[in-house]
Amino acid sequence: MLSTTAIKTFARPGTTTDITAPASPATVLLAAFDGSGGLAEAPATLLLAGGREIPADALGVVAAVFPCARDAARAAVEIARGPGRARIVLATTADAPDPRRRAAVVARLRPLLATVPAGRVIVTEPAAILSGATLPRGVELVDRATTWPICPDAPAQRLYELRVGAPDAADAAGSGGSNVAWARRAVAGRRPENGDAVRALTGMWQQAREGGLRTALLTGPDQDDAHAATAELALRLHADGGLVLYGRWDPATRTPLHAVREAFGVYADGCDPADLRRDLDGRAAEVARLLPELGTRIGVARRAACREPARHPQAYDAIGTWLTRAARRRPVVLVLHDLQWADDASAGLLEHLGHACRRERVLLVLTAAEATGERAPAVDRFLAGAAHTDPGSFRRVLL
């Protein structure tokens, strides 16, 4: 069962709700037990984790809805580590908070559940983003490189797997808030390559640590090389005391600021709520428009989601302020992959950060595929803006 400390974190005293605003997305957990083992204990596990059981309408299947994805993920881990080798699906959707629509959500997830092997936990990308940094030790989040149509009239969502093992004592020191799990996976089994690029970026890091934003764009014919180079860099800078934030853009995901939401969403999930309140003092409501679950965690009244950030410049200011406050405690490396897929709002935010964080201890590392005839507006806009910055603060690295 969950520890007493973990159970206490489920209570969020002081949380207020604006009943006139749309509900934040919620996470649905669906678990199937092929035998009797684990089925009887599952409802209690769901309840202790903060879930509300909902009808599953199938023999040997339990379902629950959670306000926070991290709580749903922890419940999934508890069930997966118990008897029964359950098959589990986690999905964060906008319609799950509505009791009238939960049956439809469960019905949409049941075909996906049928494809899950015994003892496995499959997580949709939104749930993975919101829960990844707070997973217990011994649990790894792995990209399955496949998608599934979770919501009608919306792009298919990328799927991840929670690989649940025993807690690893060797990792007891934790990552100190850094998101480096992706980097460890990226370098696993690869020979060190692109040493010149990593050395160049490490030099920029030393300059950034002395106080002043540095920005790099890595381009090359093989994005795997760029991703591996940034992964090696991230692990080095984490060991050097840096705070690593990571996100990526995906052509299948149309959410504005997707990579930035991922980077800060994972970071927020690993932070203590009290620390978040201090970092977001005066800006919490605007950040919560971009990351609704963050508002739930720190007790900010729910507001309508910011679906068009470019029309809400205060959202840019809020992210810039958050990054600045984090960097004043600890130098930050923000790694964002696949700029060629970025949206206009992301390009605008990068321009804003270039000004808002120009004196801060931040290294911004972007990757982009080499042009293949098709224009990449976000890359063009970024390069145009970089041309007007301090020549010593930007570098383009060719792999």
Classified as helix, coil or strand, 253 is: coil
Q: Identity (one letter) of the amino acid at 309?
A: P
Q: Could you give the residue ranges of the DSSP H alpha helices within 28-146?
A: 42-48, 69-81, 102-114, 125-131
Reported as a pLDDT band with limits 50, 70 and 90, residue 361 is very high
Cross-strand partners of 245: 334
Domain edges within the chain: 4-170, 181-398
CB atoms within 10 A of CB 160: 24
pLDDT digits (tens, 9 = 90+) for 238-296: 988 899 999 999 887 777 888 998 899 888 877 777 778 888 888 888 887 777 767 66
Cβ 397 vs Cβ 217: under 8 Å: yes
H or E segment to which residue 158 belongs: strand 157-164
pLDDT the model gives residue 367: 95
* Contacts of 11 by beta carbon, 8 Å cutoff, 6+ apart: none
pLDDT the model gives residue 14: 36
Right CATH for 181-398 from 3.40.50.300, 3.30.930.10, 3.40.50.2300, 1.10.260.40: 3.40.50.300
Domains 4-170 and 181-398 alike in fold? no
Q: Is 133 left (phi over 0), alpha (psi -120 to 50) or beta?
A: alpha
pLDDT digits (tens, 9 = 90+) for 136-164: 666 777 778 788 988 877 788 889 888 87
Chain centre to alpha carbon of residue 353: 20
CA atoms of 82 and 375, how far apart (whole Å): 51
Cβ 276 vs Cβ 298: under 8 Å: yes
Q: Which two tokens stand for residue 94?
A: 């906008």
Question: Per CATH, which fold does 4-170 belong to?
Answer: Alpha-Beta Plaits (3.30.70)
Global pTM? Answer: 0.61
- Sequence-ordered strand ranges (E) for 212-361: 214-220, 243-248, 332-337
CB atoms within 10 A of CB 110: 17
Only one residue has tokens 């709520």, namely 273
